[in-house]
Chains A and B, each alone.
Chain A
Amino acid sequence: MKPEIDQILVTSALQLLSDLVPRLPEQHLQGEASLIAFMLLLSANEYGRAAEIRAAENADMRALFAALAPKVRGEDLRRELQAAVSGEDGSLAIAALNESNYALRRFLIRLHEHVEDDPIANAEIWSLLKTIAERRFLAPPRF
């Protein structure tokens, strides 16, 4: 059995905090090193969930676009919407998921502007944005 990446990050962070930070001569360096340790802990947390978050977010955006299709006026926007809805994530690599995520987010911004005065569509988009924000939120590790 080999150590998993998140375990390595957590162990490294704790070693940094307990063994190395106290030996640093300047308060400024101690602060920086502590923050680096904190970032390692956050990264460990992200390691386990990053792909799932992005895949779920992309699926949710595509589903919302499909639901809002009848509200979309204008050929160009409708064509873009259809292209976005019919896309899929072929790879679970973070870079690939990010690429489709950014394209979908760009379209979400345009669509939101387009339907913002429709209270039902606006509320549906805000509901998704709330879900996205909650999913991406990082609970700070407690020491």
Chain B
Amino acid sequence: MNLEEKLAAYLAKALEAGDLSVESLSRIPGGASRETYRFRALYTKNGVRIEHKLILRRDPPASLIDTDRATEFRAYRAAHALGLPVPEPLVLEEKGDALERPFFVMEEIAGCQVANILLPDPYGAHAGRIGEQFFRTLGTLARADADAIGLGAFDGCKDVRDCWRHELSRWQREIDQDEREPQPIVRAALRWLAKHPPPPAQKIALVHGDYRSGNFLYDGDGNIRGILDWEMAHLGDPLEDLAWALDPLWSHGDPARPAGTIPRDAAIAIWRRASGLDFDEAAFRWWEIFASLKGAAIWISAAREYAEGRNPDPVNAFSGLYCLAFHNKVLAERLAVAA
């Protein structure tokens, strides 16, 4: 059986629809940590013929950063229950029997696009509208109570005093493991972060982990319809997501307008209103430096995957060459001022 037939056989059981067929299965871009496919499931339910547009997210043979598809699925489910704009997750399969590797299926949000991070001004006349939604949605996520959305025992940090240490340790491990060529800026940044810890988090919240321009679907009217790529979701300090969202790499060439949308101060004000949290510039500074360090860690891992021939995906070459040089520059500019 090919992938289409295997998927149809699996979904026929999972959705209790014996006549289910899969059509128009086609792979689409969807990040380096999952294979993403768009397809249509056709079946009869209670005598009604249904055509369901769906997305399959399957583990690749080797992943850049090891992430758990159950984590991603649960984060989608929690965000969907919160009313955030995300595709509805439908089926999770953690074993590799049905499609050779674990996967999950969620609804497709059709008729939308994702911004290319290399394009200047991707949102055009809708930049203000998209920026307002983008930072309000992030604030809404930060406001949510992790226990109330069923994620009290989710991966990540459980103590407000330890969020910074938890994340710094995680990404230092990645760097220690994957650093092929010596990285003096990254090493100095690691030491600076360890020596200048931020104050405790105001709360523990669900952190998306990769909340940025290029990771959401928007329609032609400037409506954000789907926040994507929750595979690095975890519990932590909400400032972590805000700092990542404001990082210059995702600013489409204009760091004064984070995410290529609205001025930084306006973005922070919207986030504050929606989250109900304070914005502590000193604490945020730590998370800003951390964001660029975390980026560098991801790009170092990508560079190694590519350089050692394990994963020839061009996104790994791009990450190791362009993104790593970008974040080294950001870190050096910010930390040279502090020195």
Q: Which residues of A are in contact with B by a Cβ distance under 8 Å?
A: 26-29, 31-32, 35-36, 38-39, 42, 46, 98, 102, 105-106, 108-109, 112-113, 116, 119, 122-123, 125-127, 129-130, 132-134, 136-138, 140
Contacts and interface: CB of A to CB of B under 8 A. Distances in A.
A133 B332 contact: yes
Given A116-B191, A123-B339, A133 B325 contact: yes
A108 B317 CA distance: 26
Contacts of A113: 191
Given A27-B26, A126-B336, A126-B339, A132 B318 contact: no
A136 B185 CA distance: 12
Interface of B: 26-30, 36, 118, 181-185, 187-188, 191, 313-315, 317-318, 321-322, 325-326, 328-329, 331-333, 335-336, 339
A35 B317 CA distance: 9
Contacts of A130: 332-333, 336
Contacts of B325: 133, 136-138
B28 A27 contact: yes
A28 B185 contact: no
Contact of B336 (A32, A46, A102, A127): A127
Contact of A129 (B29, B30, B184): B184
Contacts of B36: 28
A81 to B, nearest CB: 15
A126 B332 contact: yes
Nearest to B181: A102
A39 B321 contact: yes
B191 A35 contact: no
21 contacts: A27-B28, A28-B26, A28-B27, A35-B318, A39-B318, A39-B321, A42-B322, A98-B181, A106-B182, A109-B182, A109-B187, A122-B339, A126-B332, A129-B184, A130-B336, A132-B332, A133-B325, A133-B331, A133-B333, A136-B329, A138-B322
Contacts of A112: 184, 187-188
A11 to B, nearest CB: 19
A112 B188 CA distance: 8
A123 B339 CA distance: 5
Contacts of B183: 105
Given A126-B335, A132-B185, A35 B329 contact: no
Contact of B318 (A28, A38, A105): A38
Contacts of B314: 32, 35-36, 38-39
By Cβ-Cβ distance, the 10 closest A-B pairs, closest first, are A105-B182, A133-B332, A28-B27, A126-B336, A126-B339, A133-B329, A31-B29, A35-B314, A130-B332, A133-B328
